[in-house]
């Protein structure tokens, strides 16, 4: 067998097989596109379902967001209240300290006078009479 005969035989086989292989490849491409279309339809349905579920979650998420903001506001208010309590306590302690320092010699007598004054104010206060 010569080289010419070999090339002629390969050419003849190729001419016979190429159209068959082309048809087989075309059938596989058609099946692939068909499966791709089916898959895309399923993906579209899935995305539609996910979209509906996400829309259902909008209201609870909005509620959670509002609740979070409310908790933040409560926390900030509590912080400010605690700061005011501490500041008032410091001021009261400072006032007591200055009162004690001013009346070092007679602090017992000064406290007694203050307590008597408070008792007299309580007795004179008309709002306390309605409570009794």
- The three-state secondary structure class of 125 is coil
Question: What are the pLDDT digits (tens) for 23-54?
Answer: 999 999 999 999 999 999 999 999 999 999 98
Cα gap 57→47, rounded to integer Å: 15
The stretch 105-121 carries a mean pLDDT of 72
Q: Residue 64 pLDDT more than 80? A: yes
Report which of residues 122 and 67 the model is more confident about. Answer: 67
Could you tell me which residues come within 8 angstroms of residue 99 by beta carbon, excluding any fewer than 6 positions away? 110
pLDDT of 132 reads: 44
pLDDT at residue number 106: 62
User: DSSP characters for 22-62?
Assistant: HHHHHHHHHHHHHHHHHHHHHHHHHHHHHHHHHHHHHHHHH
What is the structure's pLDDT at 125?
A: 64
């Amino acid at each position: 067998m010569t080289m010419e005969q070999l090339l002629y035989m390969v050419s003849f086989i190729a001419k016979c097989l190429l159209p068959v292989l082309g048809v087989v490849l075309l059938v596989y491409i058609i099946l692939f596109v068909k499966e791709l279309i089916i898959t895309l339809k399923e993906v579209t349905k899935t995305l539609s379902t996910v979209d509906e579920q996400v829309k259902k979650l909008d209201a609870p998420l909005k509620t959670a967001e509002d609740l979070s903001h409310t908790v933040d506001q409560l926390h900030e208010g509590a912080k400010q209240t605690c700061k005011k309590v501490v500041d008032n306590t410091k001021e009261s302690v400072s006032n007591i300290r200055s009162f004690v320092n001013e009346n070092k010699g007679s602090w017992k007598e000064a406290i007694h006078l203050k307590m008597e004054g408070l008792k007299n104010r309580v007795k004179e206060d008309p709002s306390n009479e309605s409570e009794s």
